[in-house]
Amino acid sequence: MKNNFPKQATEAYWKEKLSEESYRILREKGTEPPFSGEYNLHFEKGSYQCKACNNPLFLSEQKFDSGCGWPSFDDAIEGSIETILDKSHGMIRTEIVCNDCGGHLGHIFNDGPTETGQRYCVNSLSVDFNPA
């Protein structure tokens, strides 16, 4: 993992810019409750970007309904995501963060049903949607 992200800011800046819940997820590595996010069953054409820094992350064509309760994507826009080994909560997972600001997005799993075999499991509160 790199220590330096191009769009770095102070925690005071992020607290002012983000809602309390988005700050908890993006900056403190929180998770929203399953089936609660506005983008879980959202399938309009467009793209999803980091709520903190507006970095484009996913395209609507990459989204699918995994039934897990969080927005799921089978791939990301090339170069938009950084992966980090996550050994928290007694599990071994792969965390996904925005490659521009380091904001926590969720985790990636190798159980996706599409040809990529991947499931990027993302918190709705960590992204914004840009209609096509």
Distances, alpha carbon 132 to alpha carbons 32, 71, 77, 115, 128, in Å: 26, 18, 15, 24, 13
Q: Is 53 a catalytic residue?
A: no
Catalytic pick from 53, 98, 101, 121?
121
Q: How far apart (Å, rounded) are the C-alpha atoms in residues 106 and 89? A: 14
Interacting residues of 77 by C-beta distance below 8 A, sequence separation 6+: 47, 56, 57, 58, 59
For the annotated catalytic residues, the residue numbers are 121
